[in-house]
Amino acid sequence: MTPVGKILVFLNLVFSLAVGGFAVADYTARTHWVDSFNKLKEQYGVLQKANETYARELASLSKEKSELYDLLNASGVRWDPIAKDSKESAGERVGKRVLMVLEDQGKQIVDLTATNKRLTDQVSAEKTKNTELLATELKYKTDVERRQADVAIMRKTLQDEYEKNFKLVRDYNQMRDDMVTAQIQSRTFKDRNMQLESSLRDAAVQLAQLRTNMSATRPIGGLSRTNPPLENVEGLVRSAREGLVEVSLGSDAGLAKGQTLEVFRLGVNPKYIGRIRILDVTASSAVGQPTGKLTGPIQVGDRVASSIMGRN
C-alpha cells in the first residue's frame, strides 16, 4: 500500500474513534438531563398540588379563625394570654392552638413557595441546558455529516489512488516484459549481425581469391577455363567421391559438356569452394571434375551455379 493509502486509513480510524466518543458523550448527556428533568418535573407537580392543598386549608383556617374570634367576642370569653388569671379558659386554649396551627401553616406555605421557586429555577435551568444540549447535538450531527462526507471523499480518493497504482503496476509490468523482449531481440539481432559480419568477411576473402583466380585464367585448347552455361542455372551436389562430382543439373536445364559451374556452400558457415568442369551430361544430372584449387572438400548438399555473382 502506498503512503497516501496508509495516511487515509489512519485518518479514517481516528475519525471513527472520534465519532464513537461523540456518540457516547451525547447519549450520556441526554440520558442524564432527561432523568433530572423528569424528576424535577415530578417534584414540581407534587409541590404544586401540596401548595394548592395548603392554600385551601389556609383559607379554611382563616375563615374558621374569624368565626372563632367572633364567637369568642360574642361570648365574652377572655382568651388574651397576658391576662392576670393564671388559669386559661377553654377559649384561650383553642385560640392559642388555632394561632399555632396558623403560624405553622404559614411557615409551611413560605417554605413551599421558596421550594416551588427553587424548583422553577431548576426547571428553567434544565430547559436552558436542554436547549444547549440540543444545539450541541445539532452541531455534532452537522459535524458528523460533514465528516462522513469527507470520509466518502477520502474513500473515493483512496479508491482512485488504488486504481491508479494498479494501472501503474500493470503498465510497469508490461513495460518490463516489453523491455525483456526487446533485450532478447537485441541480443538475437546482435548475434545475427555478428554472424553476418563474419560471413561478409569470409565472402570478401573468397571474392578476392576468386578474382585472383579469374585474373590468372589462361586459354587452353582454344577454350577459356571458365565456360559457364548461357543461362543462369543452379543446383545441388548429389555425390562427391573419387574426384568426381554429381550435380542435379542436366541438359534439360541447358547444361553441356565442357561448361563450368561454381561450387559454394550456404548455411551457418557460408563459403566459396571452387569450380568444376562438366564431363558427362544426362537429361537431369551431370558429372563434373574439380578444376583449379579448391578451398575445401566438396560435400553433398553444396550448391552449384553458373555464377555466384549473377549476370548482368
pLDDT digits (tens, 9 = 90+) for 104-117: 778 888 888 898 88
| Axis-axis angle for helices 3-75, 90-215 (nearest 10) | 170
Name all domains of the chain by residue range, CATH numbers in brackets.
Answer: 3-169 (1.10.287), 226-305 (2.40.10.170)
> pTM (2 decimals)?
0.32
Q: Give residue 251's pLDDT.
A: 93
- Give, in order, the Cα–Cα distances in Å from 261 to each of 255, 296, 311: 10, 16, 14
For 12-64, the pLDDT digits (tens) are: 777 777 777 777 777 776 776 677 778 878 877 887 887 788 788 888 877 87
DSSP structural state of residue 73? H
In the chain, % helix, strand, coil (3-state, to 5) comes to: 65, 15, 20
Q: Give residue 216's pLDDT.
A: 46
Q: Give residue 207's pLDDT.
A: 61
For 164-180, the pLDDT digits (tens) are: 888 888 888 888 888 87
